[in-house]
Amino acid sequence: MMRMPPSSHDDAAAMTATNGFASALTTAPPTPVDTPHAAAAARADSSDPSAVMETYARFPLTLVRGKGVWVWDSDGRRHLDCVAGIAVCTLGHSDPVLRRSLCHQLGQLQHVSNLYRIPEQEALARAITSRSCADRVFFCNSGAEANEAAIKLARKHGHRVRGIERPLILTAQASFHGRTLAAVTATGQPKYHEGFEPMVEGFRYFPYNDLAAFEALLAECEAEGPRVAAVLVEPLQGEGGVNPGDRAFFQRVRQLCDERSILLILDEVQVGVGRSGRWWGYEQLGIEPDAFTLAKGLGGGIPIGALAVKATADQLRPGEHASTFGGNPFACRAGLTVIQEIERRDLLAHVNAMAALLQELLGGLVQRHPQLLEGSRGWGLLQGLVLREGGPSAPEVVKAALAEKLLLVPAGARVVRFVPPLVIKPRQLRKAVKRLERALERLA
CA gap 156, 231 in Å, rounded: 14
Q: Name the residue with the smallest CB distance to ligand PLP.
A: 143
DSSP string, 364-384: HHHHH-TTTEEEEEEETTEEE
Q: How far is the CB of 63 from ligand PLP (least distance, A)?
A: 18
Q: What is the 3-state secondary structure (H, E, C) of 26-62?
A: CCCCCCCCCCCCHHHHHHCCCCCCCCCCCCCCCCCCC
Determine the distance from the C-alpha atom of residue 106 to the mean position of all C-alpha atoms in its chain, rounded to a whole number. 27
CB of 189 to ligand PLP, least distance (A): 12
Instruction: In angstroms, give the least distance from the CB of 193 to ligand PLP.
Output: 15
- Phi and psi for 347 in degrees, rounded to 5? -75, -20
Q: Is 146 or 387 the residue whose CB approaches ligand PLP more closely? A: 146
Least spacing, CB of residue 86 vs ligand PLP, in Å: 6
Residues found near ligand PLP in the complex (CB under 6 A):
10, 142-144, 147, 176-178, 234, 238-239, 267, 269-270, 295
Consecutive H or E run containing 218:
helix 211-221
Closest CB to ligand PLP among 269 and 309? 269
Q: Report, in Å, the least distance between residue 341 CB and ligand PLP.
A: 21
In terms of Cα–Cα distance, which of 302, 222, 303, 308 is closest to 259?
222
Closest CA to 82 of 353, 371, 417: 417
Q: Which is nearer to ligand PLP, 173 or 261 (CB)?
A: 173
Minimum separation from the CB atom of position 287 to ligand PLP (A): 17
Please report, for residues 158, 297, 302, 304, 421, the alpha-carbon distance to residue 85 in angstroms, rounded to integers and kept in the order given. 36, 9, 11, 14, 9
Q: Which is nearer to ligand PLP, 239 or 396 (CB)?
A: 239
Question: Closest CB to ligand PLP among 13 and 25?
Answer: 13
User: Given the complex with ligand PLP, which of 234 and 404 has the nearer CB atom?
Assistant: 234
> Are the C-beta atoms of 180 and 187 separated by less than 8 Å?
no
Which of 331, 440, 334, 310 lies closest to 387 in space, CA to CA? 440
